[in-house]
Structure formats: C-alpha cells, structure tokens
Amino acid sequence: MSDGGYVIRLGPLGATATTVASALAATQLSPDMGYANPSQAGRVGEATETSMSIDERLLNAKIEASEARTDAKFSQFMAELRLVSAGVSQLSNDMSEVKSQTSTLKWNIVGTGLAIGGLILAIFAFGTQMLEFALGLFTAAPTAPPG
C-alpha cells in the first residue's frame, strides 16, 4: 500500500494503512506544541495509558515506514546491480569476440607480410636474370660464327 509516497508493508503485527494513518494523525502536534487531541495529552510529566499506546503505535508506524523505505531502496540497488552485471556480461562476450577477430587479423597480417617479403626476395634474386632474358629477346639475331 502507498501512503504519502511510502510503501507500507503488512507485517506480522497486522498493521494496515488505516491504523498507521490514524496513529500518525492522533499524535501530530498542534501549533501550541500540545497534542492535536488535548484529551490524549494528559498533564505535563504524566504519561497516560492512551498516550503511551499512541506513542507505541507511532513508534511502530515509524519503524514500519523506515523498514519499507529500506526495503525499497535495497530492491532498487539490487535491480541496478543486476543491470550492471548484465552489462559486464555483455562486455565480456564482446571482448571475447574482439579477441578472436584480432587473432584472425593478426594471422592475416603476418601472412601478407611473408608474401610481400618473398616477392621482394624473388625480385632481387632473379631480377638480373629476368633483365638479361628480356634484353636477349630484343637484340639482333646472332651472327654466324666466323669460320
């Protein structure tokens, strides 16, 4: 139940919103710092049975309201903690996917580097032979040996 923005839990004492509200209304102070209902106040320094039961009901109502607020805040905290946990789990999954993609990319880069290195080595090793072969194709036909 809701009363003034607070959640009132029905506890083992059987408190309801009506009894809590009546206990709070009966014990509110008037502007002259006396009880709103003067018949419940008794004389100064004297505690009557009615004022003691009202004070006890007020104390119980305040404790229940405090417990309800604490429970609500704890529930909100747990909900936020679940959201953070879900976010961390999703981040972990994303990181493992990135790690596998990074590994694949690393091997692609290494393979490409080896291929380019082999091509450069082949050009240096066989470049002069290829140049001589190409020049030999375009030179004049060999002449007959003197003889």
Residue 5 pLDDT more than 50?
no
Q: For residue 107, what are the domain limits?
A: 2-137
Nearest partner of 39 among 31, 49, 132, judged by Cα: 49
In degrees and rounded to multiples of 5, residue 121 shows phi and psi of -60, -40
Classify residue 46: in a domain, yes or no.
Answer: yes
To 5 degrees, how large is the angle CA 64–CA 65–CA 70?
95
Classify residue 145: in a domain, yes or no.
Answer: no
Classify residue 142: in a domain, yes or no.
Answer: no
Establish how many alpha carbons lie within 13 A of residue 136's alpha carbon, considering only the half-sphere containing its beta carbon. 6
Tens-place pLDDT, residues 62-85? 999 999 999 999 999 999 999 999
**pLDDT band for position 87 (50/70/90)?**
very high
Classify residue 143: in a domain, yes or no.
Answer: no
Classify residue 147: in a domain, yes or no.
Answer: no
Q: What percent of the chain has pLDDT over 90?
A: 31
Number of domains in the chain: 1
Whole-angstrom distance, CA of residue 109 vs CA of residue 88 = 31
Classify residue 146: in a domain, yes or no.
Answer: no
Q: What is the pTM of this model?
A: 0.37
Classify residue 104: in a domain, yes or no.
Answer: yes
Q: How many CB atoms lie within 10 A of CB 6?
A: 15
Classify residue 144: in a domain, yes or no.
Answer: no
Whole-angstrom distance, CA of residue 68 vs CA of residue 64 = 6
Tens-place pLDDT, residues 10-34? 444 444 455 555 555 555 544 444 4
Which amino acid type is present at position 85?
S
Between residues 120 and 146, the one the model is more confident about: 120
Whole-angstrom distance, CA of residue 32 vs CA of residue 40 = 15
- Rounded to an integer, the average pLDDT of 95-121 is 91
**Pair 75, 13: CB distance under 8 Å:** no
